[in-house]
Amino acid sequence: MVPVTPPSSAEFAILGAGVAGLACASQLHAAGRSVQLFDKGRRPGGRVATRRLEGGLEFDHGAQYFTARHPEFQHWLKPRLAAGLVAEWSGRLVSLSRGVITPEPSPTTRYVGVPGMSALAAALAGGLPIHLADRVTRVERREGQWWLLAEEAGLCGPYRHLVCALPAPQGIDLLQEHPVEFLPEMQAVTLAPCWALMLHLARPLPVDYAGAFVADSPLRWIASNSSKPGRPASECWVLHAGPEWSQATFDEPPATIDSWLRDALWEAVGCAPQDVLASSSQRWKYAIPPSPLSERFLADETLHVSVCGDWCGGPRVEGAFLSGWELGRQLVSR
C-alpha cells in the first residue's frame, strides 16, 4: 500500500493514478520535475486492480494480464521481471463456445503482477507523491495556474500544468467548462462497461485450461486466478461479461448478475452447477475503449493541460503505459 500523502503544490498536477497517470508521473519525477498525483481510489492502479474477498482470497477483477510488445515497455519491464514484481503467465488459454474448445492459434507472451495485478501499479507508483481516496470534483484556472477542488482536501494548488489521466468521460466532466481545444476529440471517445464476477469454488472446475475467450454467451472471458504465478492454490475464477451484455444489464442488482453469470459459466464450460464458497461482482462503468484515438495523448499548449490514458493510442495496459510515458517525455522536453 502506498502511503497517503497530503496534496502539495507542484509544477504538475496529475489526476488519475492508473497506469497512464503513473507512467507520466514517473517520467517527470525521474527528470527532477515536481508532480502531485490524485486518485479517488484507496490504492493506485485504477483498472489494474486486485480485490480481497471474505476469507482473504484475492482476485484480479480488472485487467487480467498484459502484453509487452513495444521496446520501451519491454525495457521498463525487464528489471521488474528480474525483481519478481511481475511474471510471465503461461497458463493454457483456449477459445470456448458452448463447451466446444479451440486451442489458441498463436499464443502470446502474457504477464501478470505478483502476487496480484495491483503489484504492477505498485511497481510504477514507488516514490511518487500520490494523494489517494479523494475525488477531484472541479478544476479551476486562476491567473494562469490550475487549482483543484478535492472532496476531502478542499482547494489544492497552484499547479502550472494539469494532466488528466482519466477515462475520457471522467476527464470531460472536469474540463468541459474550460475552452480546451481538444474537447471535441475526447467527446468522440466511448468506453464500454464490463460486469466482473469473482468465484471461489469448493472443487476444481472440470477443465484443463487456465482461461478462455468465450463466445455465444453473456461471458467474454473466464480465467483461473489461481493459475497465475504467486497466487494461492484455492479454486478462484474471474468471469467477465461482454460489453453488450454488460450494457444491457448495467442497472441490474449485483445478486441477479451473480446468478446469471454463474449459469453462463456452467453452460459455457459444459458442466453441472458447482458449489460456490464465496462470490462477488463488480461493475466497471468504463472498462475498455472499443475505438481508441490514434494519438498517444492530447495537449492544449495555451491552457497547459494534457490528457492521456488507454483511450489515447491504446487500448489496454500497454497502451495506457505508452500514452502516459510519451506524454511525460514530451512534458519533460518543454
Ligand X SMILES: Cc1cc2nc3c(=O)[nH]c(=O)nc-3n(C[C@H](O)[C@H](O)[C@H](O)COP(=O)(O)OP(=O)(O)OC[C@H]3O[C@@H](n4cnc5c(N)ncnc54)[C@H](O)[C@@H]3O)c2cc1C
For ligand X, the closer CB: 68 or 269: 68
Q: What amino acid is encoded at 15 in this protein?
A: L
Q: Minimum distance between the CB of residue 233 and ligand X, rounded to whole angstroms?
A: 22
Using rule CB under 6 A, residue 331 touches ligand X: no
The grid cell for 24 is 507520466
Return the residue of 7, 18, 158, 313 that touches ligand X, per CB under 6 A.
18
Q: Minimum distance between the CB of residue 15 and ligand X, rounded to whole angstroms?
A: 6
Return the residue of 57, 68, 156, 165 that touches ligand X, per CB under 6 A.
165
For ligand X, the closer CB: 273 or 318: 318
For ligand X, the closer CB: 32 or 240: 240
For ligand X, the closer CB: 1 or 272: 1
The residue range among 4-12, 32-40, 70-78, 255-263 that interacts with ligand X, by the rule CB under 6 A, is 32-40
Using rule CB under 6 A, residue 211 touches ligand X: no
Using rule CB under 6 A, residue 194 touches ligand X: yes
Q: Minimum distance between the CB of residue 46 and ligand X, rounded to whole angstroms?
A: 2
For ligand X, the closer CB: 59 or 304: 59
Strands 211-215, 93-97: pairing kind: parallel
Asked if 309 and 7 touch (Cβ cutoff 8 Å), the reply is no
Report the site for ligand X in 131-150 (rule: CB under 6 A): 135-136
Asked if 213 and 321 touch (Cβ cutoff 8 Å), the reply is no
Binding mask 280-319 for ligand X (x = CB under 6 A): ----x--xx--------------------xx---xxxx--
Return the residue of 65, 111, 159, 237 that touches ligand X, per CB under 6 A.
65
Using rule CB under 6 A, residue 218 touches ligand X: no
In whole angstroms, what is the distance from residue 275 CA to residue 272 CA? 10
Using rule CB under 6 A, residue 48 touches ligand X: yes
Using rule CB under 6 A, residue 227 touches ligand X: no
Asked if 274 and 201 touch (Cβ cutoff 8 Å), the reply is yes
- 259 contact partners, CB below 8 Å, separation of at least 6: none
For ligand X, the closer CB: 163 or 166: 166
Using rule CB under 6 A, residue 242 touches ligand X: no
Using rule CB under 6 A, residue 77 touches ligand X: no
Return the residue of 46, 129, 243, 328 that touches ligand X, per CB under 6 A.
46
Q: Minimum distance between the CB of residue 82 and ligand X, rounded to whole angstroms?
A: 21
Using rule CB under 6 A, residue 39 touches ligand X: yes
Asked if 172 and 187 touch (Cβ cutoff 8 Å), the reply is yes
Q: Minimum distance between the CB of residue 55 and ligand X, rounded to whole angstroms?
A: 22
> CB atoms < 10 A from the CB of 69, how many?
10
Q: Which residues bind ligand X (CB under 6 A)?
A: 15-21, 38-41, 46-48, 62-66, 135-136, 165-167, 170, 194, 196, 240, 284, 287-288, 309-310, 314-317, 320
